Amino acid sequence: MPTIAVDKAALYRALEKEYTTEEFDQLCFDFGLELDEDTSQSTKPEDLAQPAQLKIEIPANRYDMLCFEGIALNLRVFLQKQKLPKWSLTSPASGKVETLTIKEETMQIRPLCSGVILRNITFTKERYESFIALQDKLHQNLARQRTLVSIGTHDLDTIKGPFTYEALPPEQIEFIPLNQTQKMNGKQLMEFYEKDKNLGKFLPIIRDSPVYPVIYDSNRTVLSLPPIINSNHSKITLDTKNVLIEITALDKTKVEIVNQTLVAMFAGYAESIEPLRIVSPHNNESRDVPDLSPREMVAEVDYINQVTGLDKSPAELGTLLERMGLTVTPDTSDKNLLNVSVPITRADILHQADIMEDVAIAYGFNKLPRVYPNKTAAVAAPLPINKLGDIVRVESAASGWTEVMPLILCSHEENFEWLNRKDNGGTAVRLANPKTAEYQIVRTSLLPGLLKTINSNRHQPLPLKVFEVSDVAFIDLTKERKSRNERHFAAAIMGKTSGFEQVHGLLDRIMLMLRSAFITREQGLANEALAGYWIEEVDDPTFLKGHAASIKVNIGGKHHVIGVFGILHPSVYKPQRFDLQYPVSTVEINLEVFL
Amino acid sequence: MAGGTRGPVPVPVQSQDRNLTQDVLDLLDTKSPLQSSEDFPSIPQKDIKGALDRLASRSMVEYVAKDTEEAVLSEEAQTILANGSHEFRVWSAVKDAGKILIKDLGNVVGTEAANVGQGNAFKNKWIKKDGDSFIPIKDDVKDTTRDQLREVSETKSLSDAKALKELKKRKLVVLTKVITYTVTKGPKYAKEIPVEVTDLTADMLAGDKWETTNFKPYNFNALGASQDAGALHPLMKVRQEFRTIFFNQGFVEMPTGHFVDSGFWNFDALFVPQQHPARDMQDTFFISDPPKADKPRADPETEAQLDAMEDSSKRLFASSQNTEVKPRDYEKYWKDVQAVHQDGAFSSIGYRYPWSADECLRLVLRTHTTAVSTWVLHRLAENPRPARYFSIDRVFRNETVDATHLAEFHQVEGVIADFGLTLGGLMKFLEDFFAKMGLHDLRFKPAYNPYTEPSMEIFGFHKGLKRWLEIGNSGMFRPEMLEPMGLPKDLRVYGFGLSLERPTMMKYGVDNIRELLGHKSDLKWIREQPAVRLEKE
d(CA A171, CA B329): 54
Would the CB atoms of A404 and B523 count as touching at under 8 Å? yes
Contact A464, A580 (CB under 8 A): no
From start to end of A271-391, where are the E strands? 272-274, 276-279, 287-289, 295-300, 327-330, 337-342
Read off the pLDDT band of B2 (50, 70, 90): very low
For residue A562, the model assigns a pLDDT of 96
For residue A541, the model assigns a pLDDT of 97
Q: In this structure, are B176 and B314 located in the same domain?
A: no
Contact B510, B303 (CB under 8 A): no
- Which of A308, A397, A430 is nearest residue B289 as measured by Cβ atoms? A430
Q: What is the mean pLDDT of chain A?
A: 95
Chain A residues within an 8 Å CB radius of B279: none
Q: In this structure, are B375 and B424 located in the same domain?
A: yes
Read off the pLDDT band of B8 (50, 70, 90): very low
* Domain containing residue B128: 86-142
Chain A residues within an 8 Å CB radius of B487: none
d(CA B41, CA B32): 17
Residue-wise pLDDT tens digits, B213-239:
888 878 888 898 888 899 999 999 999
**How far A95 CA sits from the closest chain B CA (Å)?**
34
Answer with the one of B142, B162, B185 that is the final residue of a domain.
B142
Contact A146, A207 (CB under 8 A): no
Would the CB atoms of B422 and A253 count as touching at under 8 Å? no
For residue A489, the SS3 value is strand
Residue-wise pLDDT tens digits, B48-77:
888 898 888 888 899 998 887 888 888 888
Average pLDDT over residues B313-330: 76
Would the CB atoms of A435 and B400 count as touching at under 8 Å? yes
For domain A384-594, the CATH superfamily is: Bira Bifunctional Protein; Domain 2 (3.30.930.10)
**Chain B contact present for A384, CB below 8 A:** yes
Contact B497, A387 (CB under 8 A): no
List C-alpha distances in Å: A336 to A315, A366, B377.
12, 26, 29
For residue A31, the model assigns a pLDDT of 97
For B286, phi then psi, to 5°, come to -95, 155
- Mutation target to probe the B interface, by most B beta carbons within 10 A, among A62, A383, A488 is A383
For A442, phi then psi, to 5°, come to -85, 130
Which amino acid makes up residue A152? G
Chain B residues within an 8 Å CB radius of A479: 258
Would the CB atoms of B422 and A368 count as touching at under 8 Å? yes
Please give the order of strands across the beta sheet that includes A243-249. A149-155, A243-249, A112-119, A272-274
The CATH code of the domain at A296-367 is: 3.30.56.10
Q: Which of A145, A297, A5 is nearest to B275 (CA)?
A: A145
User: What CATH number has the domain bearing residue B137?
Assistant: 1.10.10
Chain A residues within an 8 Å CB radius of B419: 375
User: What CATH number has the domain bearing residue B61?
Assistant: 3.30.1370.240
Would the CB atoms of A457 and B522 count as touching at under 8 Å? yes
Q: In this structure, are B194 and B267 located in the same domain?
A: no
- Which of A365, A398, A483 is nearest residue B444 as measured by Cβ atoms? A365
Query: Tens digit of pLDDT per residue, chain A (595 long)?
Result: 899 999 999 999 999 999 999 999 999 999 999 999 999 988 888 888 899 999 999 999 999 999 999 999 999 999 999 999 999 999 998 889 999 999 999 999 999 999 999 999 999 999 999 999 999 999 999 999 999 999 999 999 999 989 999 999 999 999 999 999 999 999 999 999 999 999 999 999 999 999 999 999 999 999 999 999 999 999 999 999 999 999 999 999 999 999 999 999 999 999 999 999 999 999 999 999 999 999 999 999 999 999 999 999 999 999 999 999 999 998 889 999 999 999 999 999 999 999 999 999 999 999 999 987 666 667 899 999 999 999 999 999 999 999 999 999 999 999 999 999 999 989 999 999 999 889 999 999 999 999 999 999 999 999 999 999 999 999 999 999 999 999 999 999 999 999 999 999 999 999 999 988 888 888 877 877 788 999 999 999 999 999 999 999 998 888 999 999 999 999 999 999 999 999 999 999 999 999 9
Chain B residues within an 8 Å CB radius of A481: 258, 260-262, 265, 293-294, 363
DSSP, res B526? H
Please give the order of strands across the beta sheet that includes B442-449. B252-253, B387-396, B408-419, B491-499, B467-477, B452-462, B442-449
B156 belongs to a structural domain = no
Q: Which of B399, B426, B436 is nearest to B497 (CA)?
A: B426
Looking at domain A98-289, does it have CATH number 3.20.20.80? Answer: no
- Which of A148, A306, A382 is nearest residue B422 as measured by Cβ atoms? A306
| Residue in A closest to B417 by C-alpha | A376
The CATH 3.30.930.10 portion of chain A extends over 384-594
**Chain B contact present for A146, CB below 8 A:** no
For residue B3, the model assigns a pLDDT of 39
For the purposes of burial, counting CB atoms within 10 Å of the CB of B142, is it exposed (0-12), middle (13-18) or buried (19 or more)? exposed
Q: Which of A399, A543, A404 is nearest to A460 (CA)?
A: A404
Residue-wise pLDDT tens digits, A498-512:
999 999 999 999 999
Q: In this structure, are B418 and B320 located in the same domain?
A: yes
Q: In this structure, are B340 and B484 located in the same domain?
A: yes
**How far B83 CA sits from the closest chain A CA (Å)?**
55
Contact A418, A578 (CB under 8 A): yes
pLDDT above 90 covers what percent of chain B? 46
> How big is chain B, counted in residues?
537
| Residue in A closest to B280 by C-alpha | A144
Would the CB atoms of B313 and A379 count as touching at under 8 Å? yes
List C-alpha distances in Å: A446 to A386, A489, A492, A563.
17, 8, 10, 12
Q: In this structure, are B470 and B352 located in the same domain?
A: yes
For the purposes of burial, counting CB atoms within 10 Å of the CB of A76, is it exposed (0-12), middle (13-18) or buried (19 or more)? middle
User: What does the DSSP assignment read for A510-562?
Assistant: HHHHTT--B--HHHHHH-TT--EEEEEE---TTEEEEEEEEEEEEETTEEEEE
Q: In this structure, are B279 and B316 located in the same domain?
A: yes
d(CA B275, CA A249): 14
Would the CB atoms of B424 and A368 count as touching at under 8 Å? yes
- Mutation target to probe the A interface, by most A beta carbons within 10 A, among B256, B422, B522 is B422
When computed from its CA atoms, the radius of gyration of chain B, rounded to whole angstroms, is 44
For residue A44, the model assigns a pLDDT of 87
Q: Chain A, 154-213: which have a CB under 8 Å from a chain B CB?
A: none
Q: In this structure, are B208 and B327 located in the same domain?
A: no
Would the CB atoms of B299 and A480 count as touching at under 8 Å? yes
B159 belongs to a structural domain = no
Q: Vertex A504, ends A501 and A510: CA angle to 5°?
A: 140
List C-alpha distances in Å: B39 to A8, A430, B33, B64, B153.
82, 80, 10, 15, 16
Task: Judge whether residue B206 has pLDDT over 90.
Answer: no
Chain B residues within an 8 Å CB radius of A380: 246-252
B184 vs A529, residue with greater confidence = B184
Among the ranges given (A149-153, A493-497, B106-110, B249-253), the one the predictor scored with the smallest mean pLDDT:
B106-110
Residue-wise pLDDT tens digits, B364-379:
999 999 999 999 999 9
Q: In this structure, are B107 and B18 located in the same domain?
A: no
Contact B181, B36 (CB under 8 A): yes
The CATH 3.50.40.10 portion of chain A extends over 98-289
Read off the pLDDT band of B7 (50, 70, 90): very low
Q: In this structure, are B204 and B127 located in the same domain?
A: no
Q: In this structure, are B197 and B244 located in the same domain?
A: no
Residue-wise pLDDT tens digits, A338-375:
999 999 999 999 999 999 999 999 999 999 999 876 66
Residue B461, beta-bridge partner list: B468
Chain A residues within an 8 Å CB radius of B456: 365
A482 vs B176, residue with greater confidence = A482
- Which of B257, B479, B527 is nearest residue A471 as measured by Cβ atoms? B257
- Dihedral over alpha carbons B481, B484, B487, B490 (to 10 degrees): 70
Contact A378, B313 (CB under 8 A): yes
Q: Which of A514, A488, A486 is nearest to A395 (CA)?
A: A514
Task: Judge whether residue B10 has pLDDT over 70.
Answer: no
d(CA B456, CA B477): 11
| Residue in A closest to B279 by C-alpha | A144
Q: What is the largest CA-CA distance in chain B?
A: 136
Q: Chain A, 399-418: which have a CB under 8 Å from a chain B CB?
A: 399-409
User: What CATH number has the domain bearing residue B363?
Assistant: 3.30.930.10
**Chain B contact present for A128, CB below 8 A:** no
**So what's the architecture of A3-78 in CATH?**
2-Layer Sandwich (3.30)
**Chain B contact present for A364, CB below 8 A:** no
Read off the pLDDT band of B6 (50, 70, 90): very low
Task: Judge whether residue B321 has pLDDT over 80.
Answer: no
Asked whether the CA dihedral B462, B468, B474, B476 is positive or negative, the reply is positive
User: What does the DSSP assignment read for A259-290?
Assistant: HHHHHHHHGGGSSEEE-EEEE-GGGT--EEE-
For residue A229, the model assigns a pLDDT of 96
Number of CB pairs, chain A paired with chain B, less than 8 A apart: 319
**Chain B contact present for A424, CB below 8 A:** no
Residue A229, beta-bridge partner list: A225
B79 belongs to a structural domain = no
B149 belongs to a structural domain = no
DSSP, res A350? -
**How far A75 CA sits from the closest chain B CA (Å)?**
15
DSSP, res B231? B
> What ipTM was predicted for this assembly?
0.94
Would the CB atoms of B448 and A29 count as touching at under 8 Å? no
Would the CB atoms of A356 and B349 count as touching at under 8 Å? no
The CATH 3.30.56.10 portion of chain A extends over 3-78, 296-367
- Which of B407, B443, B444 is nearest residue A409 as measured by Cβ atoms? B407
Domain count, chain B: 3
Would the CB atoms of A357 and B253 count as touching at under 8 Å? no
For residue B4, the model assigns a pLDDT of 39
Q: In this structure, are B365 and B249 located in the same domain?
A: yes
- Which of A385, A393, A432 is nearest residue B257 as measured by Cβ atoms? A385
Task: Judge whether residue B382 has pLDDT over 60.
Answer: yes
